[in-house]
């Protein structure tokens, strides 16, 4: 059992949109032998889209809308990758995914540096002390000076960095990288399908480096490396695991360059599954008894079967097919005859899984995000918050004959955590709240294509939704009466105040001292 757990590596790839996350995922799968040819994400001649973007809407737009789960074997390790959406409109999906991983790889565009979304995601990693590795992508294009980039990473992400590879020039003059971790030279050959050659050189021997990269670049590389060794402390794996230092690699994912170096170093130093915090106690991965939690639900992976799949992260013990497990929230015993493991949309049935693995369970409406499965112990894993939405619209049925389909569609998409549903107590209308505009389009598209239901949006001007609670029942009642038009209930029947402006929210907080206003659903 301990051998199985020690060889697991579960991580998420996160970044700002267009930094090259999905391309990097493809190349990692190429090395894991899972795909034979990588689909160029933006090339129309190859009619093959990225492996991890399988929803119809993802193929049309060339962006990731939902987190996809992929697993492969590499050398002696079993690697589970979660490719997350970078677009800020789907940030919630990414935040939830970060609760199910042991480490993360952040992709940064060499020309743009650290962008807004990267900063937000790094905050979540810091809250959970998740170790991160930084991959600076697109070195084959003109970008910024590597030293400037490292300074920006330190300032913006609030973590010390340590380069483990160093670029030799960039853009059209890009010759490759010197791998500090393995102390050898990797020469760059622009080719999307092949892997680059490695050359073992002694940096200090006269003439060896010059023969490979020319005199000028050789002199510059020696100077840079001296500076790196002088400025940055030596790399210690313990500091990385304690989330104090982020190792940095340079490369070009599209041209398959620097990816293998990243993967080789990653599997050696990344953490195997770590203990998970439950409300009752800490759960260690090597415990005998099985426990897990649901961090994501996806409807209609196979459009022909209308099936829902709940993704569960195994926290401890061994999961077995057909064994009886306790569904803690409902207090029922459940069995799974066809648990699956994923390669994006392709899935295969498995007989067992160990701590650190992600298993897909067929869901006929019994699961919610955050549910726990155990062998009988009542555990509750927390830390899957919904954030307060910032955009709101009324959702109306555009086809009266299809009311049932619309109802079912909305419920399944909300279970999935795509957006949040509030019911206005004043007029009983349904309000959908999202983090970004794009989610409205995704909901409308999926309702039409997957549930055969049409909806239309109506504008509503609101500033923020916040959950309210109070120990003073009389004051809570007075607040609800005064704000009657702006009160709503969420799907769990909790009170939500829909403030129509920042000023109104501020005044409410001042006037009602004993009411607590929460901006995430977990309190």
Q: For 53-109, how does the pLDDT look when each residue is reduced to its tens digit (9 = 90+)?
A: 445 555 554 444 455 677 778 888 888 887 666 555 555 666 777 777 888 888 888
8-15 and 103-109 strand pairing: parallel
> Mean pLDDT across the stretch 201-223?
72
- Listed by start position, the domains of the chain span 2-269, 278-374, 391-518
Confidence class of residue 195 from pLDDT cuts 50, 70 and 90? low
pLDDT greater at residue 32 or residue 174: 174
Look up the CATH superfamily of 278-374: Translation factors (2.40.30.10)
Residue 472 tokens read as: 């003073």
Query: Averaged over 195-222, what is the pLDDT?
Result: 68
Q: Which has the minimum average pLDDT: 67-71, 180-184, 288-292? A: 67-71
Alpha-carbon distance of 282 to 316, in angstroms, equals 11
Q: State the pLDDT at residue 200.
A: 60
Mean pLDDT of 161-167: 85
Residue 44 in tokens: 């129309």
Name the residue among 166, 196, 159, 193 with its Cα closest to residue 182: 166
Cα separation, 486 vs 157, whole angstroms:
38
CA distance 401 to 473: 43
Q: Which of 164-173, 400-409, 492-501 has the lowest mean pLDDT?
A: 164-173
- Which pLDDT band holds residue 40 (cuts at 50, 70, 90)? very low
Structure tokens at 246: 């982020």
Q: Does residue 164 register a pLDDT over 50?
A: yes
As given in the structure block, the two tokens for residue 514 are: 């004993």
Which of the two residues, 453 and 418, has the higher pLDDT score? 453
What is the pLDDT, as a whole number, of residue 201?
61
CATH number of 2-269: 3.40.50.300
pLDDT at 300 over 70: no
- Is there a shared CATH topology between the 278-374 domain and the 391-518 domain? no
Which single residue is written with the structure tokens 């391309």? 23
* Residue owning tokens 């990225």: 50
Mean pLDDT score across all residues of the chain: 78
pLDDT > 90 in the chain, percent: 2
Give me the pLDDT at residue 430, please: 92
Residue 344 pLDDT class (50, 70, 90 cuts): very low
The reported pLDDT for the residue numbered 425 is 87
* CB count in 10 Å sphere of residue 281: 10
Task: Give, in order, the Cα–Cα distances in Å from 468 to each of 382, 436, 464, 473, 478.
Answer: 20, 23, 12, 12, 13
Q: Give the CB-side neighbour count of residue 262, counting CA atoms within 13 A.
A: 28
What tens digit of pLDDT does each residue of 120-158 get? 778 778 877 889 999 988 887 888 888 888 898 888 888
Tokens 């001649």 belong to 45
Quick check: 28 pLDDT over 70? yes
Which uninterrupted H or E stretch holds 430? Answer: strand 430-434
pLDDT of res. 426: 85
Q: What is the pLDDT of residue 87?
A: 52
- 192 pLDDT exceeds 80? no
Average pLDDT over residues 14-42: 65
388-445 residue pLDDT tens: 777 899 999 888 888 898 998 888 788 777 788 999 988 889 999 887 777 788 788 8
Specify the 3-state DSSP secondary structure of 245. Answer: strand
Query: Which of 66-75, 200-209, 357-366, 467-476 has the largest mean confidence?
Result: 467-476
CA–CA dist 516, 466 (Å, integer): 9
Is the pLDDT assigned to residue 36 strictly greater than 60? no
Instruction: Report d(CA 210, CA 90) in Å as an integer.
Output: 48
> Which DSSP category does 106 fall into?
E
* Among 33-42, 211-220, 358-367, the least confident range: 33-42
Q: Which CATH class is domain 391-518?
A: alpha beta
Over range 464-482, report the average pLDDT: 88
Predicted local confidence at residue 431, as pLDDT: 92
Does residue 39 have a pLDDT over 70?
no
Looking up tokens 């590499």, which residue turns up?
74
| pLDDT > 70 in the chain, percent | 82
Does the global pTM surpass 0.85? no
């Amino acid at each position: 059992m301990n051998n199985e757990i020690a060889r697991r590596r579960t991580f998420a790839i996160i970044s700002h949109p267009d930094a090259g996350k999905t391309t990097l995922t493809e190349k990692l799968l190429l090395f894991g032998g899972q795909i034979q040819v990588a689909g160029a994400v933006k090339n129309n001649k190859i009619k093959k889209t990225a492996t991890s973007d399988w929803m119809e809407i993802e193929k049309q737009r060339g962006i990731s809308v939902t987190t996809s789960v992929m697993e492969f074997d590499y050398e002696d390790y079993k690697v589970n990758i979660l490719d997350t959406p970078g677009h800020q409109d789907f940030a919630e999906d990414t935040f939830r995914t970060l609760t199910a991983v042991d480490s993360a790889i952040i992709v940064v565009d060499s020309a743009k540096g650290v962008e807004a979304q990267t900063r937000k995601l790094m905050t979540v990693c810091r809250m959970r002390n998740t170790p991160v590795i930084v991959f600076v992508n697109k070195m084959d294009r003109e970008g910024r000076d590597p030293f400037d980039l490292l300074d920006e990473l330190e300032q913006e992400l609030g973590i010390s960095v340590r380069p483990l590879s160093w670029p030799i020039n960039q853009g059209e003059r890009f010759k490759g990288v010197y791998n500090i971790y393995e102390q050898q030279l990797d020469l760059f050959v622009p080719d999307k399908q092949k892997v680059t050659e490695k050359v073992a050189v002694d940096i200090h021997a006269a003439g060896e480096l010059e023969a490979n990269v020319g005199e000028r670049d050789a002199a510059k590389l020696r100077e840079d490396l001296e500076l790196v060794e002088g400025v940055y402390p030596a790399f210690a794996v313990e500091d990385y695991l304690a989330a104090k230092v982020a190792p940095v690699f340079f490369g070009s994912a599209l041209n398959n360059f620097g990816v293998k170096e990243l993967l080789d170093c990653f599997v050696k130093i990344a953490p195997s599954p770590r203990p998970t915090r439950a409300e009752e106690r800490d759960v260690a991965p090597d415990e005998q008894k099985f426990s897990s939690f649901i961090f994501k639900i996806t409807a209609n992976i196979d459009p022909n079967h209308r099936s829902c799949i709940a993704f569960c992260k195994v926290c401890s013990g061994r999961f077995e097919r057909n064994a009886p497990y306790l569904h803690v929230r409902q207090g029922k015993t459940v069995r799974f005859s066809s648990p699956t493991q994923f390669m994006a949309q392709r899935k295969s049935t498995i007989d067992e899984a160990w701590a650190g693995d992600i298993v897909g369970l067929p869901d006929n409406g019994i699961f919610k995000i955050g549910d726990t499965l155990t062998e009988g112990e009542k555990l509750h894993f927390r830390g899957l918050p919904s954030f307060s939405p910032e955009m709101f619209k009324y959702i109306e049925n555009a086809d009266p004959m299809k009311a049932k389909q619309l109802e079912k569609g909305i419920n399944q998409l909300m279970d999935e955590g795509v957006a949040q549903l509030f019911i206005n107590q004043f007029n009983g209308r349904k309000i959908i709240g999202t983090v970004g505009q794009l989610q409205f389009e995704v909901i409308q598209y999926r309702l039409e294509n997957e549930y055969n239901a049409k909806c239309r949006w109506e504008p509503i001007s609101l500033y923020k939704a916040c959950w309210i609670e109070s120990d003073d029942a009389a004051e809570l009642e007075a607040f609800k009466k005064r704000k009657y038009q702006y009160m709503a209930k969420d799907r769990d029947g909790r009170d939500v105040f829909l403030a129509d402006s920042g000023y109104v929210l501020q005044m409410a907080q001042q006037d009602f001292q004993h009411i607590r206003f929460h901006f995430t659903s977990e309190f």
